[in-house]
């Protein structure tokens, strides 16, 4: 009997042990198999660490490879004050001395970490610190300080081309200019290294190691050459100094290819110095975003259309009403001049408003609308990079279209006001594009800004190519208007100061009164004392190296507000220096097509090979 | 050898055992020899291994430090190259020429002739003072 009890108890104990063992097995299965992923992940979290890899933002260079924007390697310094191995006041004193930051500021930052209880908190000590300074700080061997690799965008040419290049925001993304336009190419992709670490955080050679490589951004080469840009900026600044305009800008374009050659603006800013960006007028890109009433420089385009339709010939005569003509119940004046009968060429040369309005009337509003539409007014252009010219034009996010109303919105006066540049708002870029097509025998090229891009890691290069956009006028019409535009810079024209010794200059002056709205916002009038003075032209007239527009918005000094006085001399100086830089051979007289083919005559015995160098 | 004794009625059989007093010493000597030949080199090998491992770790750290320094110097070089560009801009150079009164002039018309790559070199004279190959 006693033996039976003993066996029963033994059996029960064994059963209990078996059940416990079984439960243990089930639990183990649950841990090892059921929750494998979760627990394995947690374990790896303990011993794996990762470090970000920084890619380099692409460089911005001019056509010759001179860097316009690059990256300075630097360090972000962060601190975990609770881990300092030295008294806090000592660390603060060192940091304040090396980083030139107020100790009070550092004290306040570190105090924030104290409010977080036991949780470790990292505070920013300084961002984008020079690497040499960071190395000096490393030598102190403070624990609790962390140094992260980073880059700071640096613009070695300072103000040069600043409005076009743009700048980055706090996150390192392009927020204006080419930096924004080419963001997709310039931006690097960041990488990450994951590895198994030892107790001190060092990588275990035999442990897990995974790496996702960072890729650098593409380097971007613009079509602008630094020396030409410098010339244009210097002369624009001189003009601004002489005439004190509210703003001034100049744009140069190669009519044969559509490549932008210079892009200058006053006022401007230094992208390395944020203080110069306090006033938005300094960093806005007027050439792209600002529309202006072009005034008389529109006449060249309007008359080219009339010539193209065969409505007029260069010798067609128009009566200019002694300087004052009423049409649609409103007077149109010729700025104090009392012209009688003039030919079409003279109307351009003297810049007669009445003559141009009558030419436009002869053409009719439908044809005028078609002409101005063909020249691209009212449409955005898109200067962005198109690989080998493929795809749709890529627009600057801030590119303006100007204001060019549909035909059904035109009133009685429109046909007489639009051809003289009133009631139409154009961007400088649109106007240069229009004149470039006249200079290029009526073929409008797609303007472009990026010559090519290069992958710094693979060396792969992708190019832009010149693309003919459309035909604006027939070649004969273009050549005819060029002959008329040449008269503008000769004696008797409105801009003899735009002439350049040894070259023939074709161009047109503009002096547009600015529309000033009434205080109530209803209506307004043109102000006589607020003008936009401009000159647009190309040189050599028959085989142009470039088209150049110079605009002074509201000149206040210098005793004049006319385009022929304010902008034309600046045009002449810019063009003369640029021609010299490009070594374009001057001619002693008008150069015919035959002479061009023959390669002579040349001025001063110069080498004829300099032709066709553009 | 077997010896029969007769001091008792029953003969006693015993073996004469030859005791070799040197055997123990030889064994110790052998063991010492083995220890000397095997253990000491093993010990030395282990010591060497430890030393080499330690040196390797030190070298790796040194290498890592050198790599860090190399990278740092590379970054400093790139930074300096970029900063140098600031001093190479045209406006600064021309400004310095004027400030220092160096008397340098822009080339006169025709002084510099730009020719295409591969074009024949023009005859000597003022027009051929400098030749800039077209890019």
Cβ pair B69, A54 in contact under 8 A: no
Instruction: Test B109 with A606 for CB contact under 8 angstroms.
Output: yes
Distances (CA, A) of A320 to A46, A51, A134, A351, B33: 90, 77, 75, 11, 129
Token pair for A339? 């012209």
pLDDT at residue A579 tops 70: yes
DSSP character string of A501-561 = TTB--EEEEEEEEEEEE-TTSS-EEEEEEEEEEEEEEEESTTS-SEEEEEEEES--STT--
Q: Which of the two residues, A609 and A100, has the higher pLDDT score?
A: A100
Whether the per-residue pLDDT at A482 is higher than 90: the answer is yes
Residues A559-584: what's their mean pLDDT? 92
The DSSP H or E segment spanning A516 is strand A506-517
Chain A residues lying within 8 Å of B56, measured CB to CB:
none
Q: What is the pLDDT of residue A522?
A: 72
Domain ranges of chain B: 22-83
**Residue A325: inside a domain:** yes
Residues A231 and A149 in one domain: no
Q: Which of A25-34, A131-140, A524-533 has the lowest mean pLDDT?
A: A524-533
pLDDT tens readout for residues A414-431: 999 999 999 999 999 999
Query: Are residues A553 and A292 in contact, defined by beta-carbon separation less than 8 angstroms?
Result: yes
Element (H, E) at A454: strand A450-454
Residue A423 lies in a domain: yes
Question: Which residues does B42 contact at the CB level (< 8 Å), separation at least 6?
Answer: none
Tell me the residues of chain A between 66 and 85 that have a Cβ less than 8 Å away from chain B: 66-67, 70-73
Averaged pLDDT for residues A359-374: 95
Stretch among A327-336, B56-65, B100-109 having the lowest mean pLDDT: B100-109
> Tell me, what's the pLDDT at B127?
44
- Residue A210 token pair: 């995974």
Among A104, A135, A154, where does a domain finish? A154
Taking only residues 319 to 358 of chain A, the set having a beta carbon closer than 8 angstroms to any beta carbon of chain B reads: none
Neighbour-count burial of A172, counting CB atoms closer than 10 A to its CB (0-12 exposed, 13-18 middle, 19+ buried): middle
Structure tokens at A81: 């004050």
Rounded to two decimals, the pTM is: 0.80
pLDDT for A248:
96
Q: How many residue pairs from chains A and B have C-beta atoms closer than 8 A? A: 82
| CATH number for position A140 | 3.30.70
Q: A70 and B72: CB-CB below 8 Å? A: no
**Domain limits for position A113:** 74-81+91-154
Residue of A nearest to B69 (CA): A135
**What is the rounded distance in angstroms from the CA atom of residue A240 to the CA atom of residue A286?**
15
Residue B14: predicted pLDDT: 66
Instruction: With cut-offs at 50, 70 and 90, classify the pLDDT of residue B6.
Output: low
- Indicate whether A396 and A500 sit together in one domain: yes
Rounded to a whole number, what is the distance in Å from the CA of A227 to chain B's nearest CA?
A: 7
Q: Work out the mean pLDDT of chain A and round it to a whole number.
A: 88
Output the CA–CA distances (angstroms, integers) from residue A225 to A67, A196, A261, A465, in the order listed: 11, 50, 7, 17
Chain B residues 2-21 with a CB less than 8 Å from chain A: none
Cβ contact (<8 Å) for B91 and A70?
no
In a domain, A354, yes or no: yes
Taking CB atoms and an 8 Å cutoff, what residues of chain B touch A586?
A: 109
- Kind plus residue range of the DSSP H or E element containing A147: strand A145-154
Same domain, A250 and A138: no
pLDDT band at A23 (very low <50, low <70, confident <90, very high): very high
**Helices and strands, number each (H, E), in chain A:** 20, 21
Q: What is the CATH number of the domain that holds A434?
A: 3.40.710.10
Residue A463 within a domain:
yes
Q: Give dist(CA A553, CA A567) in Å, integer.
A: 10
**In the predicted model, is pLDDT for residue A514 greater than 90?**
no
A214 phi, psi to nearest 5 deg? -80, 145
Same domain membership, residue A439 and residue A347: yes
Query: Does A156 contact B at CB distance below 8 Å?
Result: yes
State whether residue B118 sits within 8 Å of chain A by CB. Answer: no
Higher pLDDT, B9 or A16: A16
The tens digit of pLDDT for each residue in A188-230 reads: 998 988 888 777 667 777 778 888 889 999 999 999 999 999 9
Is the model more confident about B98 or about A61?
Answer: A61
- Residue A601 near chain B (CB below 8 Å): no
Q: Where are the alpha helices (DSSP H) in A265-352?
A: 280-283, 286-289, 299-309, 344-350
Most confident by average pLDDT, A318-322, A504-508, B32-36:
A504-508
In a domain, A309, yes or no: yes
Q: What is the pLDDT of residues B90-131, one digit of tens each?
A: 778 878 888 888 888 776 666 766 555 566 665 554 444 444
pLDDT more than 90, % of chain B: 21
In this predicted structure, what is the pLDDT of residue A377? 95
pLDDT of residue B19: 73
B89 closest CB neighbour out of A160, A580, A606: A160
* pLDDT band, residue A601 (cuts 50/70/90): very low
What does the pLDDT read at residue A540? 93
Residue of B64, B86, B108 to mutate for A, most A C-beta atoms under 10 A:
B86
Count of the separate structural domains present in chain A: 2
pLDDT category at A336 given cuts 50, 70, 90 is confident
């Amino acid at each position: 009997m006693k033996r039976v009890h003993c066996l029963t108890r033994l059996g029960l104990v064994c059963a209990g042990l078996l059940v416990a063992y079984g439960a243990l097995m089930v639990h183990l299965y649950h841990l090892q198999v059921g929750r494998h992923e979760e627990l394995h992940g947690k374990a790896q979290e303990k011993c794996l660490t990762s470090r970000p890899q920084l890619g380099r933002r692409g460089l911005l260079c001019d056509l010759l490879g001179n860097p316009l924007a690059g990256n300075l390697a630097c360090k972000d310094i962060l601190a975990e004050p609770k881990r300092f191995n030295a008294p806090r006041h000592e660390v603060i004193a060192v940091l304040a001395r090396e980083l030139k930051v107020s100790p009070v500021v550092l004290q306040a930052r570190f105090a924030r970490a104290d409010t977080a209880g036991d949780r470790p908190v990292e505070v920013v000590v300084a961002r984008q610190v020079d690497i040499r300074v960071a190395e000096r700080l490393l030598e102190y061997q403070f624990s609790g300080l962390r140094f992260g690799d980073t880059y700071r965008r640096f613009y070695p040419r300072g103000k040069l081309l600043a409005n076009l290049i743009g700048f980055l925001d706090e996150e390192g993304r392009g927020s204006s200019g080419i930096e924004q336009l080419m963001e997709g190419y310039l931006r690097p992709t960041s990488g990450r290294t994951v590895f198994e670490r030892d107790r001190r955080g060092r990588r275990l050679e035999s442990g897990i190691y995974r790496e996702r490589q960072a890729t650098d951004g593409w380097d971007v080469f613009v079509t602008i050459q630094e020396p030409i840009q410098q010339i244009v900026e210097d002369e624009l600044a001189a003009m601004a100094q002489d005439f004190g305009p509210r703003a001034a800008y100049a744009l140069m374009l190669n009519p044969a290819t559509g490549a932008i050659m210079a892009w200058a603006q006053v006022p401007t800013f230094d992208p390395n110095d944020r203080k110069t960006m306090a006033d938005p007028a300094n960093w806005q890109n007027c050439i792209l975003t600002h529309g202006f009433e072009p005034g008389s420089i529109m006449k060249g385009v309007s008359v080219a259309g009339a010539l193209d339709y065969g409505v007029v010939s260069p010798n067609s005569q128009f009566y200019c009403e002694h300087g004052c003509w009423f049409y649609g119940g409103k007077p149109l004046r010729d700025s104090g001049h009392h012209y009688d009968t003039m030919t079409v060429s003279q109307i351009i040369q003297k810049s007669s408003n009445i003559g141009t309005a009558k030419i436009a009337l002869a053409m009719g509003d439908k044809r005028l609308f078609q002409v101005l539409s063909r020249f691209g007014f009212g449409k955005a252009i898109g200067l962005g990079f198109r690989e080998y010219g493929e795809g749709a034009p890529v627009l600057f996010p801030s590119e303006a279209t100007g204001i060019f109303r549909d035909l059904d919105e035109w009133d009685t006066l429109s046909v007489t006001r639009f051809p003289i540049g009133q009631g139409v708002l154009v961007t400088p870029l649109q106007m240069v594009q229009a004149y470039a097509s006249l200079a290029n025998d009526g073929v409008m090229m797609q303007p472009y800004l990026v010559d090519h891009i290069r992958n710094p890691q693979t060396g792969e290069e992708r190019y832009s190519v010149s693309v003919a956009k459309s035909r604006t006028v027939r070649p004969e019409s273009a050549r005819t208007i060029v002959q008329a535009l040449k008269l503008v810079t000769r004696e008797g024209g409105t801009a003899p100061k735009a002439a350049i010794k040894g070259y023939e200059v074709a161009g047109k002056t503009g002096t547009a009164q600015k529309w000033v709205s009434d205080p109530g916002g209803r209506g307004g009038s043109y102000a006589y004392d607020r003008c936009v003075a401009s000159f647009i032209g190309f040189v050599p007239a028959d085989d142009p190296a470039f088209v150049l527009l110079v605009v002074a918005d509201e000149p206040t000094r210098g005793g004049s507000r006319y385009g022929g006085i304010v902008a034309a001399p600046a045009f002449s100086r810019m063009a003369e220096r640029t021609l010299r830089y490009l070594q374009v051979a001057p001619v002693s007289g008008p150069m015919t097509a035959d002479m061009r083919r023959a390669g002579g005559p040349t001025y001063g015995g110069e080498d004829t090979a300099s032709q066709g160098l553009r | 050898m077997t010896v029969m004794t007769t001091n008792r009625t029953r003969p006693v059989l015993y073996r004469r055992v030859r005791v070799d007093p040197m055997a123990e010493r030889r064994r110790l000597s052998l063991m010492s020899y083995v220890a000397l030949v095997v253990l000491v080199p093993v010990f030395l090998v282990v010591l060497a291994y430890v030393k080499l491992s330690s040196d390797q770790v030190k070298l790796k750290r040194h290498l890592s430090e050198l790599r860090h320094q190399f990278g740092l110097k590379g970054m400093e070089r790139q930074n300096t190259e970029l900063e140098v560009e600031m001093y190479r801009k045209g406006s600064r150079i021309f400004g310095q020429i004027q400030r220092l009164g160096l008397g340098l002039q822009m080339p006169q018309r025709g002084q510099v002739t730009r020719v295409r790559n591969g074009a024949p070199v023009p005859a000597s004279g003022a027009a051929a003072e400098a030749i800039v190959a077209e890019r």
